[in-house]
Amino acid sequence: MNPNEIIKLKTGHRRMRGALAIFLAVLMIYGLRLVQLQALDAPQLAAAAAEKRTRTLILPAQRGEITDRKGAPLAITVDARNITVDQTMVQDPAGTANAIAQITGADATLLQADLTGDKKFKYVLKKITPEQWTAINQLKLPGIFSEKTSTRIYPSNSLAASTIGFVGGEDRGMAGLEFGFEKELAGSSGEVTVEISAAGRSLPSGVASQVTPQPGIGIRLTIDRDLQFVAEQALAQKVEYAQADSGTLVAISPKTGKILALVTYPTFDSNNPQDAIATTINNHALVDAYEPGSTAKVITMAGLLNEGVANPATKFTVPPVIKRNGKTFHDHDPHGVLQLTLTGILAKSSNIGTIQASELMGAEKFNEYLLKFGVGQETGMHFPGESNGRLASLEKWSGTSFPTFAFGQGYMVSAVQIASMYATIANDGVRVNPSLIEGYVLPDGKFQAATESLKTEVIRPEVAQTLREMMETVVSDEGTAPLAAIPGYRVAGKTGTSQVVDQNCKCYGNIVIASFIGMAPAEDPEIVVAVALHNPKNGRWGGLLAGPVFKEVAQYALQQGNIPPSTGKPMGYPVKW
């Protein structure tokens, strides 16, 4: 055999073995890679693939409705849609933007910017109507998706706005009851995961998983929508006439403590809270406290009658001024020596006479009545930001606190608190804590009544009746509020023109609060209405400014409730002796 041929043969075997080794190495690499892909990296790869072909969408819970006492809607939720985009799937940003803009009216240039980029998820438009989304969806635009959402609507716009409040951009309550009852109203959101095609469109049968949202609880208020409307119109008209800074009105059922109308003016539109002036958002009848002035003299009278130290005809000689602990007190109008009964002191709203009368029971006993009537106490309404008022403890009273407190200065109450005090007198001396919530509408549609309000006996029934008869003289021609009289009905009430402390000098300035609080029919009251105008510039006295507002609102409430006219006549207690 030729040696050269043998050498060539050996060289060929080595090449074959080398090629085989390389082939086996390649196979091993592929095998290892296959093991890695199918075993080690399989979960991560599967998750990545699933992420590319699925989208998880939030399913918002239906927010609970807020209604009036009869079920009339005050805050409702309607269906809406949010448009989202996977920018990596959009094939023609300009064309897609123009198509969406034509349907929604949005700015095409801004839309195009939102549609351009490499983000897998981005909001494009929020809270469009379902009809608009249907039109967009029919265009089958790659990368364009939607999620169900909702939008809050306030059918009556500004009606009871400061009580109801509003929701913000994230559908969370931002003020009023919407804020205070956020947890109950909101419910809990759900979610759904859907599969999408390579073109970026949802597959009809591609629901991978779903968590059902839980709807919120509805709230039924004690407010009567029709009475609220009448009260808002009446108060707004008088605030504008008086050129006042603001006004409040509280209408309450004395027998139940339920608030039937709760008004602050100026107000705002809950549908457009971004346009509201900041001060109009707060419910000033609940969150603000002020010195009640002469309207609080009825508490002094209630204590005197209940203690038996005076009666409606008790005689007082009222001097032009009176001094107590180095301070001189005056009445609102200068006068000589007056001979007034206890009824006359109330009818003429004499500060001096009230001080004289209060001393018959003493400071300690008077303080007990202030507390029992609710001064400085929680109302139990739990409204966000609600004020408890202010009353210094007895041991902190100065030498002039007692005479000053006797005619309603030096301590503070909210408009709802003072209305509740009058409701106590109207309810034969039993204080029923005021309430704003009638009950709750559960997700299954069942109604759950709110817990009954706490009741406290403050004065005896016969004392309350006597006091109401005394208060009728205020609305007579001899009193300070004849404009509050309602034809056919006996009316009991009290005026007030309280001074506001100037924070610069820590003294009483020129700003006043003109108020009137009344009840009707006086013999068996069904309605109490408290009206206050803050810093009026056209007029000053509560009887002239607030009295007519009371008349309009109370008269409507009596007619609405089919309350028969009064049959008896006032006792006619003497004013002078």
**H-helix or E-strand containing 503?**
none
| E strand spans, 278-336 | 315-318, 322-324, 327-329
Q: Which amino acid is at 465?
A: Q
Name the percent of the chain in helix, strand, coil, to the closest 5: 40, 25, 35
What residues have CB less than 8 Å from 306, skipping those under 6 apart? 369, 429, 459, 460, 463
What's the Cα-to-Cα distance from 497 to each of 328, 329, 389, 416, 533, rounded to whole Å? Answer: 19, 16, 18, 17, 10
Of 150, 246, 294, 350, which one is the catalytic site residue? 294
Q: How many CB atoms lie within 10 A of CB 155?
A: 13
Nearest to 380 by CA among 280, 299, 446, 456: 456
Residue with tokens 């970026």: 200
Residue with tokens 């509560």: 542
Buried b (16+ CB within 10 A) or exposed e, 80-93: bbbbbbbbebbeeb
What residues have CB less than 8 Å from 185, skipping those under 6 apart? 63, 64, 66, 173, 178, 216, 217, 218, 219
What's the Cα-to-Cα distance from 321 to each of 295, 304, 516, rounded to whole Å? Answer: 21, 22, 25
User: Within its chain, how far is the Cα of 295 from the centroid?
Assistant: 26
Encoded tokens for 434: 């005021």
User: Is 453 known to be catalytic?
Assistant: no
Q: Kindly list the catalytic residues.
A: 294
